[in-house]
């Protein structure tokens, strides 16, 4: 059983089926599942009355805005922070979202931090149009979105992405002839299951708008910093400082600093307003 697991990538096919240049991959299926689970969980909370005055119809509209913003932001984030041809791509913006630029249909290269920024921008526009408090929407997106996150990281693992560093651990997976940490599954557990359970226990006790969103970002950043020690740095970047610091850790440290400042500001404003 252990040997079968260690040789997972030798017998696993990341493509479910192909029709010409179209390939349905486990990666894509898992990401669709992540969005569907997040949508269903959020809609369930809204229909149950946990997020008044939000209703199911408005939530469905919010979800569409969220997805579009997340996809656009994820792609732009990858191009800006990770793509080795950043200048080339920015000079040809039509190529950034061209699904036919490779040998298969689809967008290659997505950034989580970019997805967060894009989704946040879309929700800001949505809040102005529908007159919702933006931090209220951020809280709802954090709790519902975290419900499906685990499937996205499982998709990364099934697509042989986010490869781990070398290990002697028995649960390592062979990749390129080397036993490596299944770091994508570590992320699925820490950034997905652990963070979701924490928010699930806390969201009904929230004291001010924005609290859940900021807790989510802080917990995610901490989990990401930990997992990056087991994950191989992006090949085009490597370690960017001190011989150990990765781009993912850098963005996560900056996230924690921003979250701390905003958290204390919102808490102060909430106390000042008597909430």
Residue 213 to residue 113: CA distance in whole angstroms: 14
* Residue 75 or residue 89, greater confidence: 75
pLDDT of residue 106: 53
* Residue 219 or residue 163, greater confidence: 219
Note the pLDDT tens digit of each residue in 48-81: 988 888 999 999 999 999 999 998 888 888 877 7
> In terms of pTM, does the model score above 0.75?
yes
Q: Do 44 and 63 contact (CB within 8 A), yes or no?
A: no
pLDDT of residue 207: 87
pLDDT of residue 235: 73
pLDDT of residue 98: 60
Note the pLDDT tens digit of each residue in 235-246: 777 788 788 799
* Cβ count near 241 (within 10 Å): 10
Residues 6+ apart with CB under 8 A from 97: 72, 75, 107
């Amino acid at each position: 059983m252990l040997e079968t697991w260690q040789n997972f990538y030798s017998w696993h096919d990341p493509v479910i089926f192909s029709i010409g240049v179209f390939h349905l991959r486990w990666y894509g299926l898992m990401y669709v599942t992540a969005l569907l689970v997040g949508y269903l969980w959020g809609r369930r909370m809204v229909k149950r009355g946990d997020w008044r005055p939000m209703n199911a119809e408005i939530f469905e509209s919010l979800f569409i805005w969220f997805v579009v913003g997340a996809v656009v932001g994820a792609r732009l984030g990858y191009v800006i922070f990770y793509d080795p041809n950043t200048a080339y791509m920015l000079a040809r913006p039509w190529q950034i979202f061209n699904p036919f630029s490779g040998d298969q249909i689809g967008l290659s290269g997505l950034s989580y931090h970019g997805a967060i920024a894009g989704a946040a921008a879309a929700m800001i526009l949505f809040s102005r149009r529908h007159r919702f408090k933006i931090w209220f929407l951020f809280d709802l997106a954090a709790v519902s979105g975290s419900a499906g996150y685990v499937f996205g990281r499982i998709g990364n693992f099934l697509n042989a992405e986010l490869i781990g560093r070398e290990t002697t651990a028995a649960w390592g997976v062979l990749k390129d002839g080397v036993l490596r940490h299944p770091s994508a599954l570590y992320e699925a557990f820490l950034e997905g299951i652990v963070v979701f359970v924490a928010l699930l226990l806390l969201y009904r006790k929230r004291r001010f708008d924005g609290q859940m969103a900021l807790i989510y970002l802080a917990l995610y950043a901490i989990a990401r910093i930990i997992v990056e020690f087991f994950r191989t740095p992006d090949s085009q970047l490597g370690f960017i400082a001190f011989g150990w610091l990765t781009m993912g850790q850098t963005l996560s440290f900056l996230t924690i600093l921003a979250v701390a400042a905003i958290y204390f500001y919102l808490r102060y404003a909430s106390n000042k307003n008597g909430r």
